[in-house]
Structure 1
Amino acid sequence: MTAVTHDAPVASAPRHTTSGLGLALVSAVAFGLSGALARPLLDAGWSASAVVLVRIGLGAVAVVPFGLASLRGRWRLLRANLPTVLLYGVLAVAGAQYCYFSAVRTMDVGPALLIEYTAPVAVVGWLWLRRGHRPSALTVVGAAVAAVGLLLVLDLFSGADVDLTGALWALGAMVGAASYFLISADDSTGVPPLALASGGLVVGGAALGLLALVGALPMRASTVSVTYADHDVAWWVPLVLLGLVTAALSYVSGIAASRLLGARLASFVALSEVVAAVLWAWALLAQLPGLVQLLGGALILAGVVAVRAGEPMPADAGEPELL
């Protein structure tokens, strides 16, 4: 499992850290858009699995040409790291999304998302146990502050129900999310971020397609128009955005960010996806966040800052290869 234990960013210059944080926020904002885009499709008759399959499929179509170009003929990299690419596609892409949507079939979205986003804690624990990367006291404090912020953003104090079956599915999604950060951060394979993203999307799409063929995933679609912010749009518009923005852009920028920041810090910055999801829902679905949720968002950001301050400065290892 050495392919998923690397956590040293490849460069220490401040500009690389700044670039990594920027890419991580782009990824979080893009990922956060998916819920607001998908909700009207689900209300219009689409099954969650159909939306996810289209999302991953379109993302693969968009990224694969760039992924192939980024290899520059170095096909041996894919052959040598085929197990890692397969693991990334099955766990980080298909597994995380399939388990999450399975969870929300039997439990509220808030608790399911909270369970999935215990992934940063799993990342810290994995790196501590497998690599001896003991977190600093400030990192632990930052994690605790961010966890409280998540509780507030998700408004779990209102008494949401937690279903045991759904919770187990959500834990599966957490494993997929943790795998995403750990594998994405591993630059020792030499596989460019674009190539890893495209390979993962292809493998993930194929895995979901097989599940659909054997009847494990219900596939329902509709051509009814959907509504965002009181504006009707054609059904295919949100699907295109789901594929290009919440799949292609989010995975590529997320992998590049993890290479610059390391799995631990990247996973905590990704907590801002929850804040982004709330804001997107506000803008597109008129689901206005309350004062408590806004306070939670501030705590998440404070926790991320604390985690960043608690991270040791890595040794300089030269320029990162983003493409």
Structure 2
Amino acid sequence: MPVHTSASDQRRSGKGVGLGLAVLSALAFGGSGVAAKPLIEAGLDPLHVVWLRVTGAALVMLPVAVRHRSLPRRRPALLAGFGLLAVAGVQACYFAALSRIPVGVALLVEYLAPALVLAWVRFVQRRPVTRAAALGVVLAVGGLACVVEVWSGLSFDAVGLALALAAACCQVGYFVLSDQGSDAGDDAPDPLGVIAYGLLVGALVLTVVARPWTMDWTVLTGTADLNGTHVPAGFLLAWIVLIATVVAYVTGVLSVRRLSPQVATVVACLEAVVATGLAWVLLGEHLSVPQLVGGAVVLVGAFIAQSSAPVDRAAGPVARGGPESELSARGTAV
């Protein structure tokens, strides 16, 4: 006899899939730095690595863009915003910040995005958020401060901090724009099409910023040093393009569609933990006790945030707003 699945079971199943995709996205994004650092040390400018990453991913996703060639006509603003903010903005602002302030400070400021998303949902869109999600954000940001050891090189370079904050704001745009169309039914833009055209827009913008014609292309034909092991530079670039960009963006956008921006951003904080852990294993950058404790706190914060049921989204995705009276099925909304 047929087995009927309740709506609550379907929601739990969808949330489980979304959580898995969010973790996979964080793992994929987290591996980018470990693969990029040897290329930078081999002689490539950081912005050139970013350009190779985005342009390579755009070429991989080009068949998808062709398949959804009507999308630019239907959603030009969405594609332009995704390309400018979620792709080019985050990368360019973050790397520009690194030229003025320590990596740990820049990373911590960028990962203020969960708190900014929560503020956007609560005060701009005027939708309630659960206290569990808010607590998860606080724990995740506090844990990140330990992971990056922000106290070891704090600098108050105003321009550098502003650039890092701009990267955080662009990351907010990534999660909010990824949520667009999640409840639009048949008229919803295909997430793969949005990613494909976003990468194309980002590649065009970064071409102007990075000026790849000045790049030392011979670096890509040689090897790069990975903690004493010589690895083909082409392999590292392929990893950055295919795993750290294509897989990371695809799983990230799909996870936001199944969770909510405020939950997905907290889970995305795992990227910093993954990046630090991989740097320990593959680059020999050992972790201190505060970093280990901070990583555990980030994991706890992500678990608390994702275990809280998101606000009912029937009225529309976060980016479009919704009624204030709808509360979370579990926990108290704030």
TM-score range, shorter chain: 0.7 to 0.9
C-alpha displacement of 1:291: 2.1
Q: What is the correspondence of 1:48-59 to structure 2 with a 5 Å cutoff?
A: 48-59=46-57
SS at match of 2:230: strand
Which of residues 147, 150, 158 in structure 1 aligns to 2:152?
Answer: 158
| TM, length-normalised to structure 1 | 0.87
User: Which residue does the alignment assign to 2:89?
Assistant: 95
SS at match of 2:23: helix
SS at match of 2:188: coil
Rounded to whole Å, the distance in 1 between the matches of 2:94 and 2:149 is 19
Is the aligned partner of 1:124 residue 2:118?
A: yes
Partner deviation per Cα, 1:171-218 (whole Å, 9 max, x = no partner):
1111111100100112236111111111110100011112245x9x97
User: Which residue does the alignment assign to 1:145?
Assistant: 139
| Matched-pair contact (CA < 8 Å) for 1:108–1:162 | no
Q: Which runs of 5+ in 1 are unaligned?
A: 1-10, 318-323
Bigger shift: residues 103-112 or 58-67: 58-67
| TM, length-normalised to structure 2 | 0.84
Q: What is the correspondence of 1:75-224 to structure 2 with a 5 Å cutoff?
A: 75-187=69-181, 188=184, 190-213=188-211, 219-223=215-219, 224=222
Partner deviation per Cα, 1:102-138 (whole Å, 9 max, x = no partner):
0001111100011111011111111112321222222
C-alpha displacement of 1:221: 4.6
Bigger shift: residues 88-97 or 129-138: 129-138
| Matched-pair contact (CA < 8 Å) for 1:265–1:311 | no
* Cα 1:212–1:293 shift into 2, 3 Å: closer
How large is the RMSD of aligned CA atoms in angstroms?
2.1
C-alpha displacement of 1:144: 1.2
User: Which residue does the alignment assign to 2:233?
Assistant: 235
Which of residues 30, 36, 52 in structure 2 aligns to 1:38?
Answer: 36
* Cα 1:308–1:226 shift into 2, 3 Å: same
Partner deviation per Cα, 1:248-301 (whole Å, 9 max, x = no partner):
110111000011111111111100000110111112211121222111111111
Which of residues 269, 272, 279 in structure 1 aligns to 2:270?
Answer: 272
Higher relative contact order (CA 8 A, sep 6+): 1
Identical-pair percentage: 32
Which of residues 248, 252, 265 in structure 2 aligns to 1:254?
Answer: 252
Rounded to whole Å, the distance in 1 between the matches of 2:245 and 2:214 is 21
C-alpha displacement of 1:160: 3.3
**Bigger radius of gyration:** 2
Which of residues 19, 22, 39 in structure 2 aligns to 1:21?
Answer: 19
| Matched-pair contact (CA < 8 Å) for 2:51–2:210 | no
C-alpha displacement of 1:161: 2.9
* Cα 1:304–1:61 shift into 2, 3 Å: same
User: Which residue does the alignment assign to 1:6?
Assistant: none
Which of residues 283, 292, 311 in structure 2 aligns to 1:285?
Answer: 283
SS at match of 1:13: helix
| Matched-pair contact (CA < 8 Å) for 2:260–2:310 | no
| Matched-pair contact (CA < 8 Å) for 1:123–1:264 | yes
Q: Which amino acid aligns with 2:207?
A: G
User: Which residue does the alignment assign to 1:321?
Assistant: none
User: Which residue does the alignment assign to 1:320?
Assistant: none
| Matched-pair contact (CA < 8 Å) for 2:102–2:153 | no
Q: Which runs of 5+ in 2 are unaligned?
A: 1-8, 316-334
Rounded to whole Å, the distance in 2 between the matches of 1:24 and 1:218 is 36
Size of the aligned set, in residue pairs, is 301
Q: Which amino acid aligns with 2:106?
A: A
Rounded to whole Å, the distance in 1 between the matches of 2:71 and 2:203 is 21
C-alpha displacement of 1:65: 1.7
User: Which residue does the alignment assign to 1:300?
Assistant: 298
Bigger shift: residues 94-103 or 278-287: 278-287
Q: Which amino acid aligns with 1:282?
A: W
Q: Which amino acid aligns with 2:202?
A: G
